[in-house]
């Protein structure tokens, strides 16, 4: 039992400060949406979402799904 307690304690992360969050620009969000599209239908939906962000898919560097 003592060995298990020591093992459990050693597996827990050290106490750290508050978690850091990352903020994404609208352009970065658009890039995620476009790059994560898996087919033509999904891509069309991503383009709509990008346009809702006030951006054009033509100005966002991304790869279209095959």
Residue 62: which of 22, 46, 54 has the closest Cα? 46
**CB-CB contact of 53 with 23 (8 Å):** no
Could you give the number of structural domains in the chain?
1
> Is the residue at 36 inside a domain?
yes
- Residue 15 contacts residue 38 (beta carbons within 8 Å): no
Residue 6, in any domain of the structure: no
The answer as to whether 46 is a domain residue is yes
In whole angstroms, give the CA distance from residue 2 to residue 43.
55
pTM of the complete model beyond 0.85: no
Q: What would the pLDDT profile of 28-60 be if each residue is shown by its tens digit?
A: 999 999 999 999 999 999 999 999 999 999 999
- Asked if 26 and 55 count as a contact pair (C-beta separation under 8 A), the reply is yes
Is 40 inside any structural domain?
A: yes
Which position has the higher pLDDT, 10 or 35? 35
């Amino acid at each position: 039992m003592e060995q298990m307690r020591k093992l459990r304690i050693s597996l827990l992360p050290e106490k750290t400060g508050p978690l850091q969050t990352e903020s994404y620009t609208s352009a970065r969000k658009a890039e995620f949406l476009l790059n994560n599209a898996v087919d033509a239908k999904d891509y069309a939906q991503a383009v709509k979402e990008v346009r809702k962000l006030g951006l054009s898919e033509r100005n966002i560097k991304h790869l279209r799904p095959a």
